[in-house]
Amino acid sequence: MEREDLISLIAAVAIVVVVALVVKPALSDGPVLFLAPEEGAAATTFSTTAIPRTTAVPTPEPVPAWDGRAKTVGFVDPASYGINASAPQAAMSVPPSEGAPSKAMAVYAVVRGSGSGTTDIISIPYPYWELAYDAEAYNTEFSLLNIQVMDATDPNRFVRIVTKRDSDFITGKDFDPAIRREAWKERFFEGGRDYWLVINTRSIKSYTLQILVPERYVTGA
């Protein structure tokens, strides 16, 4: 037998073996096993988790835009709010005038001058107080009255700063001193402290500062 015939024979045998071991089992859906399966191999079990069903979120109703016109508000039965209109406590009454505490203020201290300066410490033992001030200027173009209320326990704290200048000192034919007295007044609701005043002036002929405290605390009214 020649060499070419021997090679052809070996190739034919190899093809038969491949067809028998690979192609035929694949066509018949059978497994192609080259190694024997292990006996007694444990099967792996995977747990499953149920996915909760999602609930659709309702779309909120859009808030209507305001048209710019004032709304008319009507009246309802007070009973809808749980209010008994016939009950005595629901009726309004005028508070008695007798025995009401006096709202009058008494002059506690006075500062008078014309130039700039710093006052002594003023002790205010009452729960609230007022600073009333008035001044006369030489002119209404370059005049200035500046009052700085300082906390005596904290020199860096400005309790309040009041400034009047130029046109604030105009006193024409329509000038009303009573209106100025009410306007040129500061109320402080932080009594029980010590204060001192820093006063700066320019073209001021004279000024008067009054510290006012509740009259009922002074006289017992």
For the chain, give me the number of helices (H) and strands (E)? Answer: 4, 9
* Contact criterion met (CB below 8 Å) for 27 and 33: no
Mean pLDDT of 161-186: 87
pLDDT of residue 83: 64
Residues 6+ apart with CB under 8 A from 195: 121, 122, 124, 149, 150, 151, 152, 159
Domains and CATH numbers, the chain: 105-219 (2.60.120)
* Contact criterion met (CB below 8 Å) for 147 and 209: yes
Here the tokens at position 173 are 């034919």
* Stated pTM of the model: 0.55
Lowest-pLDDT range, 54-58, 133-137, 146-150? 54-58
Q: How many CA atoms lie within 13 A of 128 on its CB side?
A: 10
Task: Summarize pLDDT for 70-112 with one digit per residue, the tens.
Answer: 566 666 677 776 767 666 655 556 666 666 667 889 999 999 9
Choose between 6 and 150: higher pLDDT.
Answer: 150
* Contact criterion met (CB below 8 Å) for 221 and 215: yes
